């Protein structure tokens, strides 16, 4: 039987922290489905299609069977559709844990057939958050320590495009 896991997120943009969890999560399952979604409480820098393409490009060389899929539904419904028995979530700090613990409890109530597995981000990558990467880039800061060179180019190009539109 194939062990399928889902790693959900907005990935706006995909960071080195995300990539760490993807690499490690892919070792735990036979197939890792990266679910790219839009969070209504966030205003994304990149469209859903752009984020999916970015994630596909970044995971192309990661070992394991990895699929990148868009979803716009309850996570547990998406996991069920994908045949997943595991939700993979990354943790950076205590604040993440409190939120993720609450979500895992709610998800368990919605669908007890799917377990949530938490992976601690690599210590060097723990402070990285997509929101902060975007903020640093918007103020002209160097984001090279937080994203791959290709993602850095994507973000810088988008920031420049936004800056031109705003003038």
Q: Is 163 annotated as a binding residue?
A: no
Q: Identify whether 67 is a catalytic site residue.
A: no
Q: Is 44 annotated as a binding residue?
A: no
Q: Identify whether 130 is a catalytic site residue.
A: yes
From the list 3, 42, 113, 145, the catalytic residue is 42
Which of the 8 DSSP states describes residue 76? H
Q: Identify whether 31 is a catalytic site residue.
A: no
Q: Which residues contact 54 (CB under 8 A, 6 or more apart)?
A: 11, 13, 14, 46, 150, 151, 154
Q: Is 18 annotated as a binding residue?
A: yes
Q: Identify whether 42 is a catalytic site residue.
A: yes
Residue 117 parent element (H or E): strand 115-120
Q: Is 41 annotated as a binding residue?
A: no
Q: Is 90 annotated as a binding residue?
A: yes
From the list 23, 24, 67, 92, the catalytic residue is 92
Q: Is 10 annotated as a binding residue?
A: yes
Dist CA 27 CA 107 (whole Å): 23
From the list 18, 51, 134, 152, the catalytic residue is 18
Q: Is 161 annotated as a binding residue?
A: no
Q: Is 25 annotated as a binding residue?
A: no
Whether the CB-CB separation of 136 and 27 falls below 8 Å is answered with no
Dist CA 75 CA 88 (whole Å): 11
Q: Is 130 annotated as a binding residue?
A: yes
Of 102, 93, 71, 99, nearest to 84 by C-alpha is: 71
Q: Which residues are annotated as a binding site?
A: 10-11, 18, 42, 75, 89-92, 100, 125-131
Q: Which residues are annotated as a binding site for substrate?
A: 10, 42, 75, 89
Q: Which residues are annotated as a binding site for ATP?
A: 10-11, 18, 90-92, 100, 125-131
Give the catalytic positions in this structure: 18, 42, 92, 130
């Amino acid at each position: 039987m194939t062990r399928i896991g889902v790693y959900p997120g907005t990935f706006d943009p995909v960071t080195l922290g995300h990539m760490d969890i993807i690499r490690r999560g892919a070792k735990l399952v036979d197939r890792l489905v990266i679910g790219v979604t839009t969070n209504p409480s966030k205003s994304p820098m990149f469209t859903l299609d752009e984020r999916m393409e970015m994630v596909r490009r970044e995971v192309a060389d990661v070992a394991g069977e990895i699929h990148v899929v868009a979803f716009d539904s309850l996570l547990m419904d998406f996991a069920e559709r994908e045949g997943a028995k595991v939700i993979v979530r990354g943790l950076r700090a205590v604040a993440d844990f409190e939120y993720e613990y609450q979500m895992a409890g709610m998800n368990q109530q919605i669908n007890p057939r799917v377990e949530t597995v938490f992976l601690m981000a690599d210590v060097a990558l723990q402070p990285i958050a997509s929101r902060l990467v975007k903020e640093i880039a918007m103020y002209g800061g160097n984001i090279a320590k937080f994203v791959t060179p290709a993602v850095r180019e994507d973000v810088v190009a988008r920031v420049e495009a936004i800056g031109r539109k705003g003038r």
